């Protein structure tokens, strides 16, 4: 029902001719950004692993609804890959939630944007993909940005930076698992197993250190799960409706949202050097994305020319 209502709203006529896939991507990025605000608010008292539990529990229930509606088996056929995706995704969530609590919002989100770098590097070993020399330069720029952020942010311990990098690394492994499952499993099954593993791990590690939510915290925790599901569904539809090059670049609006929300809700301020570090991280990842998109376009054009000849 919620998915149908969402699609109806997005399909409604707007003053500007924005393609439906672009609308879905804009919504996804915004929902993820609002979710991060709720996580930072509730993490003041609720442990990160318990937030993982609630986040995954709510999303798991919603995922079961999608699986039931599509009348597909939730068990899946590639259980080892599904389990690995769930474990790496849960580690990425847990460590990211820690950084959201301990770091300024914009800084935590920026370091998480290293995940495309790790995704590409890990793909060399898992998916036998190759990296061009220029891409290594872009990756070096991004890591230089992390070094700049650490050097000018005296309030952020090196350990927190390491946890942020671990989160991005775990995301890289999780994304490679997802890519390995492409055309092997329904997207809802992949998402469901991630939420299922996260729920079980979150419960197992928080049950002996449980902090009972109260008042507004219940609202924050429920909304974290709901916003996650809306964002993931919108992201999937965006990638299905539009070329990746047209929608993926909009994901970097998340950093702008993080900076604005950090300033508005948490009175966070950033020095020029910190902003330089953020720009280096995002710039390196963005240039790599544009470079690979251009290379893919050239390959596609060459293949089309060969067919026509």
Q: Around 220, how many Cα atoms within 13 Å sit in the side-chain half-sphere?
A: 19
Stretch 254-274: mean pLDDT: 88
Task: For residue 133, give every residue at least 6 positions away whose Cβ sits within 8 Å of its Cβ, in sequence order, or none.
Answer: none
Which among 237, 195, 24, 230 has a CA at the least distance from the CA of 93? 195
Task: Give the pLDDT mean for 240-255.
Answer: 70
Residue 221 confidence (pLDDT): 95
Exposure string of 47-81, with b = 16+ CB inside 10 Å and e = fewer, is bbbbbbbbbbbbbbebbeebbeeeeeeeebebeeb
The pLDDT, as a whole number, for residue 243 is 63
Burial of residue 214 (CB within 10 Å: 0-12, 13-18, 19+) is exposed
Give the chain's mean pLDDT. 84
pTM: 0.83
pLDDT for 149 equals 80
Percent of the chain scoring above 90 in pLDDT? 37
pLDDT at residue 88 greater than cutoff 60:
yes
C-alpha torsion sign, points 238, 196, 66, 70: positive
pLDDT value of residue 96: 95
Measured CA to CA, the distance from residue 136 to residue 77 in angstroms comes to 36
- 194-204 pLDDT, tens digit each: 999 999 999 99
Q: Encode pLDDT of 137-148 as tens digits.
A: 988 988 888 888
């Amino acid at each position: 029902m919620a998915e149908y209502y969402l699609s109806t709203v997005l399909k409604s006529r707007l003053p500007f001719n924005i393609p439906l896939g672009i609308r879905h991507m804009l919504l996804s990025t915004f929902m993820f950004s609002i979710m991060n605000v709720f996580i930072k608010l509730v993490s003041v008292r609720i442990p990160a692993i318990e937030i993982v539990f609630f986040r995954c529990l709510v999303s798991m229930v919603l995922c079961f609804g999608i699986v039931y509606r599509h009348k597909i088996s939730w068990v899946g056929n590639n259980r080892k890959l599904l389990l690995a995706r769930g474990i790496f995704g849960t580690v990425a969530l847990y460590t990211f939630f820690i950084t959201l609590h301990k770091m300024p919002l914009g800084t935590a989100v920026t370091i998480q944007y290293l995940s495309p770098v790790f995704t590409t590097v890990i793909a060399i070993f898992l998916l036998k993909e190759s990296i061009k020399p220029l891409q290594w330069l872009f990756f070096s720029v991004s890591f230089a940005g992390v070094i700049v952020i650490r050097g000018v942010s005296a309030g952020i311990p090196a350990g927190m930076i390491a946890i942020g990098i671990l989160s991005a690394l775990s995301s890289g492994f999780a994304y490679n698992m997802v890519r390995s499952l492409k055309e092997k499993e329904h997207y809802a099954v992949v998402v469901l197993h991630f939420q299922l593993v996260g729920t079980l791990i979150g419960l197992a590690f928080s049950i002996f250190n449980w902090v009972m939510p109260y008042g507004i915290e219940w609202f924050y925790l429920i909304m974290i799960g709901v916003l996650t599901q809306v964002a993931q569904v919108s992201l999937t539809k965006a990638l299905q409706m539009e070329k990746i090059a047209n929608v993926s670049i909009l994901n970097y609006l998340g950093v702008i949202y993080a900076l604005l929300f950090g300033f508005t809700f948490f009175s966070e301020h950033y020095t020029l050097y910190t902003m330089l570090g953020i720009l280096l991280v995002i710039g390196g990842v963005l240039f790599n994305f544009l470079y690979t998109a251009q290379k893919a376009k050239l390959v596609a054009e060459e293949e089309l020319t060969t067919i026509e000849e």
